[in-house]
Amino acid sequence: MSISKQEKKQEEDTIIALLNEFHHDIPLFALTVFGSTLREKQIEFVRAFQANKRVTFKGGVGFGKTHALAILVWWSLFTHDDVQVTIYGPNQGQLERGIWKELQILYGRMDETFQGWFTVNNEKIRRNHNHASCMASYALASPDNVAAARGLHQKNNFIFVDEATGVPDFIYNEALINIIRDPNAKLCLISNPSTTSGYFWETWNGTIAKLWTHVHGRMTDAPHITAQDLEDAAIDYGGKDSRLYRIMVEGEFPDNDTDGLIPRWAVEEAVDNPDAVPAPTYPVIWGLDPADGGDRSVLVKRHDNKIIGICKWNGTDLMQLAMKVRDEYEATPPKLRPKAICVDANGVGNGAYVNLHYMGLPARKIMVQNSPTRKPEFYSRLRDQIWWECREWFLNGGLSIPNNDDLIKELVTPTYDSDNGKIKVEKKDSIRKRLKGNSPDFADALCLTFAISPTRYASQFNLDRFMSSPQNLSQYE
C-alpha cells in the first residue's frame, strides 16, 4: 500500500521532532535507539560533552566509558549536520577492538530504519544523506598523522582521544588543540590516569586545568561492582595502596610513575608506636648487612612486631665486624638473644658469615640472589621475597620502628614491577642512585630478618624447633 504525501510528511515531521528531542537529551537517545539505559556516571560524561568544548575524563575500569563514548559518536552523527567525528588513540589495534567494535555493536542494535541512514565499514561511518560532510573515523595518534590532524576542520568538529595518556604531547600542542577554534568544536580526552606528567595530566593538574571540564569515574560507579569485586581487585593489583589499584579502581593519578614498594603512610604509622608489644614466645631475629673497609655495616634486631635495636659500624674489616656483633650478642640478656643472625653472604658478606659461624654464634647464610624459598611462582629472587614480606609486615600494621631517618628513607624509596608476572624489587644500584650514592643498608638489614621467620607464619609452627633443625636451614646454606 502506497504512502500518501501527507502521511510521508507526518512521518518526516515525527522523525524531525524525535531528532530534536535526541539533540537535547542524550540518555533518551541511547534508550530509544539502542535500548541502553545509561548509568549515572555515563550520563554525567555525555552531558559534559554536550555542554562543553573541552572535556577530560579520567577513570578506572569496569563501568562502561567505551560504551558511553560510542553513544556520543552515534549521537553526533544522528543529530548534527556538517559533522566530522574523529577518534584518536595511541594503538590502532586497541581502537579497532575497543571503540570501533562497540560502534558496530550499537549499529546492529538499531532499528532497520535507522540502519538505512548509514553506511558502516571497518574504517568509517557515513550518513547516507550528506555523506561527504557527515562522517566518523578513527586514526592513529602518531607523528605521521600530525599534518592530517592539523587539517581537520568542520562546522561541527568533534575529536575524541581514547587512552589519552599514551598520546605524545606535541600532537596535542601542534594539532588537536587547534580544532577548538572551529565554530562548534569539541575536544574530549578519555583515559586511565596512569602517569604523573604529560598533556592529559596537565588537563587535571596544570595551568590549563581551568580550561577543561572534568569528569572522574571509579570502578564503584558501576552498580554491579560488589565488595568482593573490590577485594579481588586489590589482590589482582597488588594491594589497595598500590599504584595500579589507585589507577584502575579509584580512577586517580598515582603518586608517582612507578609502584612504591612500602607506602610512606605505613612506615610513618609505625614510628615509635607505643602500642606494639612483641609476643614473648616469638624469637628475636637479627639481620646483618655487612661491609668491608670504609663502607658502613648495619645490624637490625627485630622481635616479632618491633625493631628493638639498630647498630651501625663504619670502617671495620670483616673480623672486626664479627667481633662487634659478638660483643652485641654477649651484652644482650639471654631471653632477648637472637635465635638467628641472618647475614647477607653475597660477596664480602660471606667472610662475615664465616667469622660469626666460627665464633659459635647462630649465623645463617642468606643468599639473596638465589631462588625464593616460598611462593616461587610469585617472586623472582629471594631478595624480592624478603622485601615483599617486609612490605606485608608494614601493611598489617601494629608494629613499631625507631625514628631513624636513614631507615625510614630507605624503606620508602624502592619501587617494584611485575611485568613478567613475578614481583621484582628495584635493583640496588638504581636505589643507590636515588639515595644519592648511599646503599639501603638499614632497610636491607631489616629485610634479612624475614629470610628465616616471616611474621605472617609465626603462629603456624614452633620456631625454636624449626630453627634447630639442620634440614630446615639447609635451604639457606
Give tens-digit pLDDT for 116-125.
999 999 999 9
Q: Residue 283 gets which letter from DSSP? A: P
C-beta of residue 149 within 8 angstroms of C-beta of residue 175? yes
Q: Hey, what's the cell of 128?
A: 547516507
Report pLDDT digits (tens) over 362-421.
999 999 999 999 888 889 999 999 999 999 999 889 999 999 999 999 998 898 887 567
C-beta of residue 243 within 8 angstroms of C-beta of residue 260? yes
Q: Residue 208 gets which letter from DSSP? A: G
pLDDT for residue 258: 62
pLDDT for residue 466: 39
pLDDT for residue 85: 95
**Run of H or E including 266:** helix 264-270
Q: Hey, what's the cell of 62?
A: 569496569
CATH 1.20.120.420, applies to 264-476:
no
pLDDT for residue 112: 94
pLDDT for residue 453: 58
Q: Is 305 helix (H, G, I), strand (E, B) or coil?
A: coil
Q: Is 156 helix (H, G, I), strand (E, B) or coil?
A: strand
CA distances from 421 to 236, 238, 247, 371, 372 (A): 11, 12, 19, 15, 15
Q: Hey, what's the cell of 65?
A: 566509558
For residue 348, what are the contacts with CB-CB under 8 A and spacing of at least 6? 290, 291, 292, 318
Domain ranges of the chain: 5-222, 264-476
What pTM, to 2 d.p., does this model score?
A: 0.58
Q: Hey, what's the cell of 213?
A: 571540564
Spans of the chain, pLDDT less than 50: 1, 454-477
User: Nearest Cα to 78, choosing from 42, 107, 43?
Assistant: 107
Q: Domain spanning 5-222: which superfamily?
A: P-loop containing nucleotide triphosphate hydrolases (3.40.50.300)
C-beta of residue 343 within 8 angstroms of C-beta of residue 325? no
For residue 284, what are the contacts with CB-CB under 8 A and spacing of at least 6? 301, 302, 303, 308, 336, 337, 338, 339
